[in-house]
Amino acid sequence: MTDEPTDTHPTHDEFTPDPNDAEYPSTLRITSLPAEQAQAAAIERAERWEDGEAVPHVVNFEDRARLRQLLTDRRMELLEAVMERPPESIRALADRLDRDVHVVHDDLSLLADYEIVHFEADGRAKRPYVPYETVRIEVEFGLPRGDESESMASA
């Protein structure tokens, strides 16, 4: 018998691309759409992607309140700072913004949970980066279209 493992399942590292090798679309869209609309939009994007079109990465929140909880003014400031001038480390970003390093770490980690911010390991430091050229936030609401809404609108 051999001591070599017989399990041939890939490791986590084999599934996780090197940040330098990963390809990201130029735009990240953060939306707030009902589940049905978000699902239809995702199917449409997948079809366009299969046809070879460039499509944005989309993070959708069915509940606008959750979107507002995530994208506070302070976290938006972090996101913009990382996009404008990627820092060498979380500590360097916290120093640049004159904020507590632990709070910056927590905020960046939360944004990373939603794949808005990513990290590249650099020794013991984690270098935050945003792989998108543009982040677009879209919140859409309005009256449903149809005979009833048109008659109410004309009243």
Does residue 84 or residue 3 have the better pLDDT? Answer: 84
4 pLDDT band, cuts 50/70/90, is: low
pTM: 0.69
Categorise residue 111: left if φ over 0, alpha if ψ from -120 to 50, beta otherwise. Answer: alpha
What would you measure as the largest C-alpha separation in the chain, in angstroms?
A: 84
Question: Encoding tokens for residue 113?
Answer: 């949970």
- Type of residue at 107: D
Does residue 11 or residue 26 have the better pLDDT? Answer: 26
